[in-house]
């Protein structure tokens, strides 16, 4: 039995004629301790998939099983790092993390909770900013707070929804390493949703492309057989890496072209000529 | 730290930033590049005030002349040349009995303002003397279980202002206590929203006068047999009911339109209902709630005058009405003084609300 299992998931939005099928026949198995990346175009239904797994929404048909139990709501066992940080702007960094920790460990005393908060804020090296509000932080710092908040709850599985999408390349690389470090320490199960193939290859054990929606479905998986810890510069010369990367990109390009040729609708543009304002007034 | 709480902070708080630049000008701190800023912030507002007073003065003068000419022409027609000449001389001499009754000039208003202050000083002195005189007697009466004797003389203009402020704050508090909790419930539950919607839509546009009559009908019966003056109760309840709608609607809207991301966070953290309301929903809707409260306070202050007038509850409204009925020579000027008092206090109340809003809002730029 897999750790996380998605069986024949269909998800539709709207009713009647307006009904659109966002996800179609999704099957996925993730083993304990695995790091899986799902790569897809923007608007392909990645966020819907994440929300199904973390329990924010329910599938129209099919089932999500987490440790054999159907997922019917959110749980502290599955920590989520949202795409847009989703920090509460009226709370400081420390308070944002504290709020999560307090919910996750209701029995611990206040000083114990504060200790946990301090440790995790330290871990993402934001101790100097612990009393600042999200507004005063840069994008990368905010995302680190979101990482600290998710991890401080000690979830058994980390679900990341394009966590680094809005960051610049340098910050992105650093945070990738930080997340890998934390993941490597106690080998939690991790699911990463991303639109960056390189990021997926660098971080994950397996990459699964998501064919774009509507009716998004998962493509064939690609195993990444690279030794950990991985090195970005070395990786670029690795034949295995190049091969996998090319294969994935080729696959994604093919779906992209497929999608273009599917778009049959032709738009008739109206015949317009710009009005001659200059000569009119002469 | 203490030095930072200077004129600059106080004037910014009041929205009178131009005083700061004005101060810089006198203390010689003004840089050359600040000059444009200085023009825009200090000279232009001051010039507009002068222009306003000037136009007012000219307008009042022209109205005065029209009224005087009309009076003289009427005297000439009705009573003949002698009466007309007498009236002309009388008007020219400034004799108060024959002055035309029209818009007072700025100087007259200023004079009335000072006379009202003098009047206030006299009444305060009188009150203090009364308190001194009755102190021992009142102590005895209280000891014997009787009510103390209170000053029942005429209230001064300043007393009326304070009484009005009391009414407005009581009304505002009532509006806050009804509208904010109700707004939260309505915002949280779509069922409540649809069941309350007709109620809000129908009662929102009802005029202050009608609210007053409604409250009067109810309170009169509730307080039946009571000898106490119920005018204060009636007027503050009317003010509250009249002004609470903005807060109600804004609170409901703020609560029902919390960013979906925050709601998702609350769900993922598995916050309880109370935690969710107090830690996520309320803080995120605070800016909107405060916008509503700000509107409520200004509406409360605006309708207060009409309601005090109807309820015969002491305050600025009653002051204006009594001066109008009074028809004394300086009554018009006193009404204008009251008008400015109402305007300036309304402005200050708005500023205070804005500062509180800025202080509690998480996002400083959100404050409207």
Q: What is the ipTM of this complex?
A: 0.78
Q: Which of residues 6-25 of A touch B (CB under 8 A)?
A: none
Using a CB–CB cutoff of 8 Å, tell me whether A58 touches chain B: no
Q: Would you say how long chain A is, in residues? A: 282
pLDDT of residue B310: 85
With CA atoms as reference, the chain B residue closest to A91 would be B362
pLDDT of residue B52: 94
Q: Give A53-98 pLDDT, tens digit per residue.
A: 988 888 888 888 888 888 888 888 888 888 888 889 888 999 999 9
- Find tokens 């910050």 and name the residue: A171
Bridge partners for A81 per DSSP? A160
Q: Could you tell me what percentage of chain A is helix, strand and coil, using 3-state DSSP and rounding each to the nearest 5?
A: 40, 20, 35
How would you class A78 by CB atoms within 10 Å of its CB: exposed for 0-12, middle for 13-18, buried for 19 or more?
buried
Picking from B269, B283, B359 by the largest number of A CB atoms within 10 A of its own CB, the best residue to mutate is B269
Classified as helix, coil or strand, A61 is: strand
Q: Tens place of pLDDT for every residue, chain A, 282 residues?
A: 688 888 888 888 888 788 888 888 888 889 888 899 998 877 778 888 888 898 888 888 888 888 888 888 888 888 888 888 888 988 899 999 999 999 889 898 999 999 999 988 988 888 998 999 888 888 888 888 998 898 888 888 889 988 887 777 887 888 888 888 878 887 788 999 988 888 888 888 899 988 876 777 887 888 887 777 787 777 778 888 888 888 888 888 887 777 777 666 667 777 777 777 666 655
pLDDT(B240) > 90: yes
pLDDT of residue B186: 92
Q: Give me the mean pLDDT over the B324-351 stretch.
A: 88
Using a CB–CB cutoff of 8 Å, tell me whether A99 touches chain B: yes
Torsions phi, psi for A62 (to 5 deg): 95, 180
Most confident of A176-185, B20-29, B89-98, B157-166: B157-166
Q: Give Dmax over CA atoms of chain A in angstroms.
A: 84
**What is the Cα–Cα distance from B125 to B105, expressed in whole angstroms?**
30
Band of pLDDT at residue B175, cut at 50, 70 and 90: very high
Picking from A58, A77, A88 by the largest number of B CB atoms within 10 A of its own CB, the best residue to mutate is A88
- Out of B275, B280, B286, the one facing A88 most closely (by C-beta) is B280
**What is the Cα–Cα distance from B234 to B174, expressed in whole angstroms?**
12
Band of pLDDT at residue B84, cut at 50, 70 and 90: confident
Band of pLDDT at residue B22, cut at 50, 70 and 90: low
pLDDT of residue B2: 40
Instruction: Say if residue A229 is preceded by a cis peptide, omega within 30 of 0.
Output: yes
pLDDT of residue B127: 87
Q: Give B286-310 pLDDT, tens digit per residue.
A: 888 998 999 999 999 989 888 888 8
With CA atoms as reference, the chain B residue closest to A86 would be B261
CB atoms within 10 A of CB B345: 16
In chain B, residues with a C-beta closer than 8 Å to the C-beta of A90 are 283-284, 286, 362
Start-end of H helices in A45-137: 46-54, 93-104, 110-123
Torsions phi, psi for B219 (to 5 deg): -65, -35
Strands (E), chain A: 4-13, 20-30, 35-40, 61-66, 69-70, 78-81, 157-161, 189-194, 206-211, 217-218, 222-223
Q: Give B112-145 pLDDT, tens digit per residue.
A: 999 999 989 998 888 888 888 888 888 888 888 7
Using a CB–CB cutoff of 8 Å, tell me whether B271 touches chain A: yes
Angle of the B81-93 helix axis to the B44-79 helix axis, nearest 10: 150
**What is the Cα–Cα distance from A174 to A238, expressed in whole angstroms?**
21
**Minimum mean pLDDT among A95-99, A183-187, B55-59, B79-83: which range?**
A183-187
Using a CB–CB cutoff of 8 Å, tell me whether B23 touches chain A: no
**What is the Cα–Cα distance from B91 to B169, expressed in whole angstroms?**
45
Contact A88 B283 (CB under 8 A): yes
Min Cα–Cα distance to chain A from B277, Å: 13
pLDDT of residue B53: 94
In chain B, residues with a C-beta closer than 8 Å to the C-beta of A75 are 270
Cα A31 to Cα A5, A158, A188, A208: the distances in Å are: 9, 13, 10, 14
**How many beta-carbon pairs below 8 A join chains A and B?**
47
With CA atoms as reference, the chain A residue closest to B276 would be A99
Q: Which of residues 199-258 of A touch B (CB under 8 A)?
A: none
Residues of chain B with pLDDT > 90, as a percent, come to: 25
């Amino acid at each position: 039995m897999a750790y996380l299992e998605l069986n024949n998931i269909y998800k539709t939005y709207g009713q009647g004629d307006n009904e659109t099928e966002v996800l179609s026949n999704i099957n996925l198995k993730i083993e304990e301790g695995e790091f899986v990346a799902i790569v897809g175009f923007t608007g392909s239904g990645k966020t819907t998939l994440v929300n199904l797994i973390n329990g924010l929404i329910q599938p129209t048909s099919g089932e999500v099983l987490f440790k054999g139990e159907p997922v019917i709501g959110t749980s502290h066992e599955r920590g989520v790092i949202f795409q847009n940080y989703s920090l509460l702007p009226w709370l400081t960094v420390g308070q944002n993390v504290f709020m999560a920790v307090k919910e996750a460990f209701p029995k611990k005393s206040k000083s114990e909770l504060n200790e946990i908060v301090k440790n995790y804020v330290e871990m993402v090296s934001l101790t100097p900013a612990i009393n600042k509000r999200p507004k005063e932080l840069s994008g990368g710092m905010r995302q680190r707070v979101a990482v600290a908040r998710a991890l401080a709850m000690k979830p058994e599985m980390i679900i990341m929804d394009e966590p680094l999408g809005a960051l610049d390349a340098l910050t992105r690389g650093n945070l990738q390493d930080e997340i890998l470090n934390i993941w490597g320490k106690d080998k939690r199960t991790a699911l990463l949703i991303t639109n960056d193939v390189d990021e997926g290859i660098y971080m994950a054990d397996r990459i699964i492309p998501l064919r774009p929606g509507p009716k998004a479905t998962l493509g064939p998986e690609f195993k990444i057989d690279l030794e950990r810890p991985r090195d970005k510069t070395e990786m670029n010369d690795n034949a295995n890496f190049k091969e996998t990367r090319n294969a994935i990109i080729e696959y994604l390009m093919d779906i992209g072209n497929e999608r273009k040729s599917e778009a049959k609708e032709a738009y008739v543009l109206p015949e317009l000529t710009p009005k001659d304002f200059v000569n009119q007034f002469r | 730290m203490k030095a930072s709480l200077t004129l600059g902070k106080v004037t910014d708080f009041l929205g009178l930033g131009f005083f700061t630049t004005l101060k810089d000008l006198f203390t010689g701190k003004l840089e050359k590049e600040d000059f444009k800023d200085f023009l825009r912030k200090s000279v232009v507002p001051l010039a507009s005030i002068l222009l306003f007073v000037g136009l007012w003065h000219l307008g009042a003068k022209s109205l005065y002349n029209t009224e005087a000419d009309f009076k003289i022409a009427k005297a000439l027609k009705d009573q003949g040349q002698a009466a007309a000449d007498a009236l002309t001389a009388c008007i020219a001499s400034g004799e108060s009995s024959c002055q035309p009754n029209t818009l007072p000039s700025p100087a007259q208003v200023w004079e009335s303002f000072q006379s009202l202050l003098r009047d206030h000083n006299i009444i305060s002195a009188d009150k203090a003397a009364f308190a001194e005189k009755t102190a021992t007697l009142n102590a005895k009466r209280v000891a014997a279980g009787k009510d103390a004797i209170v000053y029942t003389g005429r209230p001064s203009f300043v007393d009326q202002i304070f009484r009005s402020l009391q009414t407005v704050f009581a009304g505002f508090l009532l509006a806050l206590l009804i509208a904010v909790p109700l707004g939260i419930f309505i915002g949280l539950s779509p069922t409540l929203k649809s069941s309350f919607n007709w109620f809000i839509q129908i009662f929102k546009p009802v005029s202050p006068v009608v609210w007053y009559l409604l409250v009067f009908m109810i309170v009169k019966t509730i307080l039946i047999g009571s000898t106490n003056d119920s005018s204060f109760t009636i007027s503050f309840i009317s003010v509250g009911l009249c002004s609470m709608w903005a807060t109600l609607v804004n609170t409901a809207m703020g609560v029902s339109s919390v960013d979906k991301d925050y709601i998702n966070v609350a769900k993922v953290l598995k916050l309880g209902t109370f935690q969710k309301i107090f830690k996520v929903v309320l803080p995120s809707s605070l800016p909107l709630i405060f916008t509503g409260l700000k509107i409520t306070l200004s509406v409360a202050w605006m309708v207060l005058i009409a309601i005090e007038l109807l309820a015969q509850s002491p305050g600025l409204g009653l002051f204006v009405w009594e001066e109008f009925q009074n028809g004394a020579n300086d009554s018009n000027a006193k009404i204008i003084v009251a008008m400015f008092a109402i305007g300036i206090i309304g402005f200050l109340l708005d500023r205070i609300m804005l500062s509180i809003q800025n202080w509690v809002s998480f996002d400083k730029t959100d404050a409207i």
